[in-house]
Amino acid sequence: MSTHLSVLPKGPHDLSLAPVAVMIDRNLQLIRDIEPHEILAHLELMLDRPERTGTRDERADRVLEAAFRNVGLHGWKGEVTADCSRVRLTGGSVTLDLGLSATILRFIDGEGSV
Q: How would DSSP label each residue in 34-76?
A: S-HHHHHHHHHHHHTS--SS--HHHHHHHHHHHHHTT---TT-
Split into its structural domains, the chain has a count of 1
Name the burial class of residue 49, with classes exposed (0-12), middle (13-18) and buried (19+) by CB atoms within 10 angstroms of its CB.
Answer: exposed
Judge whether 17 lies within some domain.
yes
39: left (phi over 0), alpha (psi -120 to 50) or beta: alpha
Question: What is the phi/psi pair of residue 78, to 5°?
Answer: -135, 155
Judge whether 113 lies within some domain.
no
Judge whether 67 lies within some domain.
yes
**Can you name the residues that pair with 77 across neighbouring β-strands?**
90
Judge whether 3 lies within some domain.
no
pTM of the model: 0.89
- Considering the chain, what percentage of its residues have pLDDT values greater than 90? 81
Judge whether 95 lies within some domain.
yes
Judge whether 45 lies within some domain.
yes
Pick 1 or 30 by higher pLDDT: 30
Q: What is the C-alpha separation between 87 and 32, in angstroms, rounded?
A: 13
Judge whether 93 lies within some domain.
yes
pLDDT at 1: 47
Judge whether 47 lies within some domain.
yes
Q: Which amino acid type is present at position 67?
A: A
Question: Whole domain around residue 68: which residue ranges?
Answer: 13-108
pLDDT in tens, 53-107: 999 999 999 999 999 999 999 999 999 999 999 999 999 998 999 999 999 999 9
